Amino acid sequence: RLKYIITVMEEALYITVRYLVYRRLGQYGFIKFAVFKKIISYITGINDFYIIRKIFIRLMEEGFFLRNPYGSKKSYRYKFIGD
């Protein structure tokens, strides 16, 4: 069961990156997490906030996103740099 979950997560990560590259989201600059949440939900068909957040954090750890270094501490914006 654990192997299945890991495989599904890796597939969701791969599909998400491919779609973000295809849509060239890096050209849009810094975007709120809520927008990426909707995109990831649309791509993967997952509606669980916890899993979507986990996918996003994993992509951040792998260096696909750059966090906005300035602005409000309450609401960060992220830029996709996987192009």
Question: What is the tens place of the pLDDT at every residue in 20-75?
Answer: 999 998 898 899 999 999 999 999 998 989 989 999 999 999 999 998 877 666 77
Backbone φ, ψ for residue 57 (5° rounding) = -65, -40
Backbone φ, ψ for residue 30 (5° rounding) = -85, 130
User: Cα–Cα distance between 30 and 47 in angstroms, integer?
Assistant: 23
For the entire predicted model, the pTM comes to 0.84
Q: What is the sign, positive or negative, of the torsion defined by CA atoms of 13, 6, 45, 37?
A: negative
